[in-house]
Structures are given as C-alpha cells and as structure tokens.
Amino acid sequence: MNFNETEFSDYINLFGQFSWPQWIIFSLIVNVFLYLFSIGLYVFIDKTCQKNQLQEKNHPITKPDFYLSLFTVFCNSLVMLVGAFLWKNGWINLGYNVSVVHIFLEVIALLLLMDLLMYFFHYAAHLPFVYKILHGKHHEHVSTNFLSLFVLHPFETIGFGLMMLVVLMTHDFSVISITVYLLINLVWGTVGHLNREFFPAWLDRFFVGTTKFHNDHHQDETKNFGFYTSIWDRLFGTYK
C-alpha cells in the first residue's frame, strides 16, 4: 500500500485515540514480540553460521538471567509508554515524511548521534562505583548467549530509553525513520552479542562496530564502548 504524507499522518494519528489500557497492552505486545524476534534471530544465525566462533562456549542460560531479561522487556514497555505520553502531550512531534532520501538521512543521523551518546553512557557505566551497582551483571557474560542483550540493570534499560526520547524531542523525526532505527538497534544488539563473527572482517576498516568489536569489549572492559560504530573509540583512544 502506498501512502502520501497526509494519509500516513492520519493512519499514525489513530494511535492517538488509544486509551491508556490499550497503550499498555499494545506496548507489552510489541516489546514481547521484539524480545522473541531477537532470540529467534540469534538462534537462527547461531545454528546456520557454523564458522568464526569467537569463544569456545556460550554463557550458560540461568533462571535469574531469564527473569531479568523479562524485566528488561517490562522496562522497555514502560519507556514506550513514556514516549506515548510525551507524544500525546506535544513534547515529541512526529514527522510523516515518506521520502526515501529523507528517511535515509534521518536514520544515519539517529545512528551517529545515538552511537555518540551511547558511547558516553556506556563509558560512564564502567566507572567503578556505577559498574559495581549497575553494569557488572551484564559483564558476567564474558561469553554470550541469546539473553545477553537483555541482561541489563533496569536503570540501564530505562536510561537508554530516556536518552532516546530526549533525542526525539529535539527534532520531528519521521515515524518511518524512528521505526527503521529501532529495528536496526535491535538487530545490531542481537548480532553484537553473538558468539561468532557475523560481519566480514573488512568492515572494521569502515568503522563498523562488528560482532568481534563488541565481543572484545566483553573480554576487555576498558575498550570498545561504541555500539554501531568504532568511530568514537578511535577518536577517544579506547579502540581495540
């Protein structure tokens, strides 16, 4: 189906008519689906790509990690509800541009800006006091598994979400651009926590944050704080 900008705006604004109970159900459904999608993607790649294993064994699956991963889904749902509140009250204004070029440029802008903010956020999470309370649990996964992406302290999950919402308050990003960015974020996080290299090695020369790039961070916590790229690590001297 092809939409012009007016039709697309009318379609999206239907969500503005949701009651809060409907928003709660919608948010939970979306985030549970994304959680299951991430796990399914991880397992599919792990089973079909039988080369370039980075570590001998995956981190074991434990009940505490499973429960924490579910709580991460809950926190993501909460962030989505905060975003809906900000949108309904005019703090976040959505754009409805459907131009491919416009969307491409906005997605690139979101990737680079969020990568920079996440670099500093991630670096701060490794300060000794913060690391002990918040981020250390994630780094128990020196090797990784399909839950590693979601094994996060709630403050980390909410902190990243609020950081994203602040960025969305600064510009009227297209709904499509935001959706594409969030899908890339999920896929990149999933691929980044594989225990086998997903990307060709030559991509590292183009500052791409490959699977090995993030896997090296799990083994050496003083290096590779970036997420989508290695640009900021190279710039600030934390690249390995």
Q: Give the CA distances from residue 100 to residues 65, 82, 87, 190, 221, in Å, rounded to whole numbers and listed in that order.
A: 40, 28, 24, 26, 38
The answer to whether residues 162 and 78 touch, using CB atoms and an 8 Å cutoff, is no
pLDDT at 78: 98
What torsion, rounded to 10 degrees, do the Cα atoms 39, 41, 44, 49 define? -120
Burial of residue 218 (number of CB atoms within 10 Å: 0-12, 13-18, 19+):
buried
Instruction: Find, among 179, 238, 188, the residue nearest to 209 by Cα.
Output: 188
pLDDT at 55: 78
Instruction: Find, among 30, 4, 34, the residue nearest to 15 by Cα.
Output: 30
pLDDT at 1: 41
The answer to whether residues 213 and 193 touch, using CB atoms and an 8 Å cutoff, is no
User: What single-letter amino acid sits at 87?
Assistant: W
Name the residue ranges covered by the structural domains of the chain. Answer: 16-198
pLDDT at 4: 66
Q: Which structure tokens are listed for 37?
A: 């999608």
**pTM here?**
0.92
How far is C-alpha 77 from the chain's CA centre?
A: 14
The pLDDT profile of the chain, 240 residues, written as one tens digit per residue, is 445 677 677 778 788 889 999 999 999 999 999 999 999 999 999 888 766 778 778 889 999 999 999 999 999 999 999 999 999 999 999 988 888 999 999 999 999 999 999 999 999 999 999 999 999 999 999 889 999 999 999 999 999 999 999 999 999 999 999 999 999 999 999 999 998 888 888 888 899 999 999 999 998 999 999 999 999 999 999 998
Q: Bridge partners of 53?
A: 196
